[in-house]
Amino acid sequence: PLTKRRLVMNNENPLCRVNPETIRYFIRENELKAWWVAEQIGIHKTTLRRWLSGRIKRAHEGNVIILAGILNTDFNRLTLAE
């Protein structure tokens, strides 16, 4: 059941490549705390930390859209081409 749920989520919310350097820049530029940003997105702070370190290379598109809103920037600036 959990696997099917994840498959449905992935189809509805595709993955995209995140740009860790740009995300770090905008978090600093907006003087935000990473833990707070993660909380606003609805992800664990460790997940955000892994995005920022490059350990996780892809994120759900919906989460990056939320992140772009928090950071007052465009979705495309936070992602990399496939």
In tens, the pLDDT along 16-70 reads: 999 999 999 999 999 999 999 999 999 999 999 999 999 999 999 999 999 999 9
Residue 18 host element (H or E): strand 15-18
H helices of the chain, in order, are 2-12, 20-29, 34-41, 45-53, 61-70
pLDDT at 11: 60
